[in-house]
Amino acid sequence: MLDDTLIARLTEWRHHLHAHPELSFEESATAAFVSDRLTEMGIPHETGIGGHGVVATLRRPGSNRAVGLRADMDALPITEATELPYASTRSGVMHACGHDGHTAALLGAAAVLAESEDWQGRIHLIFQPAEERGGGAKAMLADGLLERFPMDRIFAFHNWPGIAAGTVVATPGPVFAAGGPFAIRLTGTAGHAAAPHTTRDVIAASGSLITALQSVVSRNIDPLSPAVVTIAKIHGGTVTNQIPAEVLLEGTIRTFSRPLRAEIAAHITRIAEGVAAAYGVAATVNVDPGGQVCINAPAETEIAAEATLAIGAELRRDVPPVMGGDDMSYLLQAVPGCYVRIGAGPARPDGELHGPGFDFNDAILPVATGWLARVAQLALAAKAGPKKA
């Protein structure tokens, strides 16, 4: 159990981070805040790893085993609409995914573990930048994260609105999909809006293309293979009396299979080029290779479940994976581990993840902190699993 003093500190830390969000690759003040708190606790750490990453290491003699705990730190380019007393002080930037709570909980776990004598080995506390743009984990790995801080297992959590507050979801296998963007540029002939016959209308073509792309999943992909194709951004035109020369459409593909992603990319290209030809315009399609599927290892999932029961939290194993992506996938690809979801309770209005009304539920900080600390202790004591290739 966490004492009231630490719970109050966790909440204070979380509110500070919420009020001062920073975008991916810009988390300098957040990293400094983390470093200052670790210094106050007397915990040695290194900064500037993979950009603004921070890694702290706790050591106790008696074992050469090591475990990693990871939290993401970055915010999103979203304007907050909560009117909370600790709402974002930075225009157009907010913690709309709860990374402020993830960071605060890992700092809390550092405090708990630093005081505990009930473990042996090394615990690496990984404060990762740039999860939202998908480059932070790769940047830390490229900067020698695992060579400088070798670990046998790794664990993390993500808060999850819509699941009862404090409930921990631990399931083996895929838990988050592989995601990545695509862009389609339509190029035609500009002209006066009153004389559309003199143009090659990319606005009309883009409307048909958006509709046609809805058939990629519904009519081309096996219904038993989860997949999502979403157009999320459209840019075209500057005035109401001109048909523009270009329209740019951008979106995302989500799958649990890289071959399926390649198949979807081929369908998008085929459809875009076909619609463009029908309208007499040109289409240029660029599809990002995409990230990795986030996959929990069976043995580490059992450790995560055991930690949940050990702290007295409710455990669920029946929640299916989600189509959202997370670059924890790159860490899990390199080191066996488990990424759990911790229920945040009902969402506020507009308060789902990435919504302008989102706010991390402070009531789950004790569960999140306790789970991180306990899973590290159990992982160090558990039988060693197979190494990643």
pTM for the structure as a whole: 0.93
> In the predicted model, what is the mean pLDDT of the chain?
96
The predicted-structure confidence for 176-214, as pLDDT tens digits, reads as follows 999 999 999 999 999 999 999 999 999 999 999 999 999
Strand partners, 295: 174
Q: Encoding tokens for residue 221?
A: 């992909």
Examine the domain organization and report whether 248 and 329 are in the same domain: no
What residue numbers bound the domain in which 297 lies? Answer: 4-175+293-381
CATH of the domain at 74: 3.40.630.10
18 shares a domain with 89:
yes
Band of pLDDT at residue 389, cut at 50, 70 and 90: very low
240 falls within a domain: yes
Specify the number of domains making up the chain.
2
Last residue of a domain, one of 287, 308, 332: 287
Segment 236-244 mean pLDDT: 97
**Domain finish residue from 271, 287, 303:** 287
- Determine, yes or no, domain membership for 388: no
Q: Are residues 248 and 314 in the same domain?
A: no
Residue that is last in its domain, among 255, 287, 319: 287
pLDDT tens digit sequence for 80-115? 999 999 999 999 999 999 999 999 999 999 999 999
Shared domain check, 29 and 158: yes
| Same domain, residue pair 108 and 11 | yes
The mean per-residue pLDDT over the stretch 354-360 comes to: 97
